Structure 1
Amino acid sequence: MRSLTCWTIFSLLALSTLPVIKVEACSCVLTHPQTHFCDSDYVAVVRVKKFFPINEDEVAYRVKVNRVFKTNPKADMAMKQNILWTSSISSMCGVYLNLGETYVISARIISGKPSISICGLATRWSEVTPRQRKGFRQFYHRGCVCEILYTHWWRKGAAFESAAGKRCLWESAPGPQDCQEKYGICMLSPGGCSWVPSVPYKNCIKQHQRQREQQRAREP
């Protein structure tokens, strides 16, 4: 699941050492689904019912809410009409949703409106792995005391030393980036924050290791 977050002025990203992905003219910090969950006011599975062009800067979607994973009183009030707002401008990370499709979305309440972004969660529910679904339903909220830090594979050692048990390292390729994104849940244990073992996660790691070994064997 390729999901991203972008909610502040993008010039600040130039000062950041975090990895940045460009979507058209929009720059987004690469973010784990669990972090999207923890940082949002509202996370839900919705079906898109109608599209509303509001003005040259803003559009809205009326949705049917199938399931709510996270909310708060402010979000409950903002979602009474089941309308999600987003920018109509690509440089401001406006998100396009297909009518009739079902998505898991994350929103922040801005000026009383549930606002979504291409840099947040706006992923087809059919593309969400069973392990991620379990994270949304049960586990992601328990791991919000931890931080998931995207780390370039060559900086893993230094990043691990500085984590001080408060972070899970999300390792870039050729590290197990996809495994940690699709099957990883970061939670606090007596030894500190770590990826929770699970059969899907372990199987993915094993497959990743086999592929890495085969790739190395082919290298001159």
Structure 2
Amino acid sequence: MLSAMQHLSSPLLLLLLCSPQMTDSCSCALSHPQDAFCNSDIVIRAKVVGKKLLGDRPFGTMRYTVKQMKMYKGFDKVQHVQHIYTYAAESLCGVKFEINKYQYLITGRVYDNKVYTGLCNFNEKWERLSLAQKKGFNHRYQLGCNCRIKPCHYLPCFVTSKNECLWTDMLSHFGYPGYQSRQYACIQQKEGYCSWYRGMATRDKTILNATDP
């Protein structure tokens, strides 16, 4: 395994070691879209228009050429994104985009002015996002980057700090992504308190309990 690891380029190796487990398949922790936004260097909406394999499989790198439609985050990192890099192999958490078909919401990290992404990043067809998620990436999620979304996998669960929102999607038998992921943002309110916000009223008028919805 060590000799195989030596073939991996250092930026992608860092992403691999930080996110998935080193097994035969990619394994990633569930993440709310807001966390994906806040923890990413780059967030864009783009159409993938080409691809090229760099190196040999399975440790090669796939370079996707994109037509950027809008940048939501990352102006201080890269002025305009033309290429997205990822592993060629899905077992190493490489993400696959369809060419000339869809617009994607793409999140990633920047190393040496190159944008890297993978299956542990949030990458989704734009048309599949809910209206709340689109508004979240456009402006709401950034309002909650000082908040902490606390996953609840088993009951009982409690918030332990005023800046936490309890994320309970994983408790539902409907699975992930759940209602909180698709409809809510965890927004910082007055006096540093964070609570779930659905966008049905102005931010100051919508104060939800930290355990809602």
Q: The TM-score by the shorter chain falls in which range?
A: 0.7 to 0.9
CA 165–120 in structure 1, closer or farther in 2 if over 3 Å, else same: same
Q: Is the 8 A contact 2:19 2:120 kept in 1?
A: no
Per the TM alignment, residue 111 of structure 1 is displaced from its structure 2 partner at its CA by 3.6
How many pairs are equivalent?
A: 182
What is the CA-CA distance between 1:145 and the residue it aligns to? 0.5
Deviation, 1:123, is: 0.2
Report the RMSD for the aligned CA atoms in angstroms.
Answer: 2.8
2:70 maps to what in 1? 67
DSSP 3-state at the match of 2:79: helix
Say yes or no: does 1:167 pair with 2:164. yes
In the alignment, what sits opposite 1:150?
151
Counterpart residue number, 2:11: none
**Cross-structure match for 1:7:** 15
Residue 182 of structure 1 deviates from its aligned partner by: 0.2
Query: Closer, same or farther in 2 for the Cα pair 1:122/1:73, shift >3 Å?
Result: same
The runs of at least 4 aligned residues of structure 1 exceeding 3 Å deviation read 10-14
Give me the whole-angstrom Cα distance separating, in 1, the residues matched to 2:19 and 2:173.
29
Aligned ranges 1:97-116 → 2 under 5 Å = 97-100=97-100, 101-116=102-117
Distance of 1:111 and 1:155 partners within structure 2? 44
- Share of identical aligned residues, percent? 27
Superposed counterparts of 1:30-179, under 5 Å: 30-56=30-56, 57-76=60-79, 79=81, 82-100=82-100, 101-156=102-157, 159-160=158-159, 162=160, 164-171=161-168, 172-174=170-172, 178-179=178-179
| TM-score w.r.t. length of structure 2 | 0.76
Change (3 A) 1:173 1:47: same
- Equivalent pair of 2:16/2:92 in contact (CA under 8 Å): no
Gaps of 5+ in 2: 1-13, 201-212
In structure 2, relative to structure 1, the CA distance for the partners of 1:174 and 1:33 (3 Å cut) is same
Q: TM-score, normalised by structure 1?
A: 0.74
Structure that is richer in helix per residue: 1
Structure 1 portions without partners, runs of 5+: 1-5, 15-21, 200-208, 210-220
User: How many angstroms apart in 1 are the aligned matches of 2:128 and 2:39?
Assistant: 21
Q: Is the 8 A contact 1:44 1:69 kept in 2?
A: yes
Match of 1:19 in 2: none
Shift of 1:37: 0.4
For 2:67, give the aligned amino acid: K
SS at match of 1:103: strand
SS of corresponding position for 2:139:
helix
- Secondary structure in 2 matching 1:28: coil
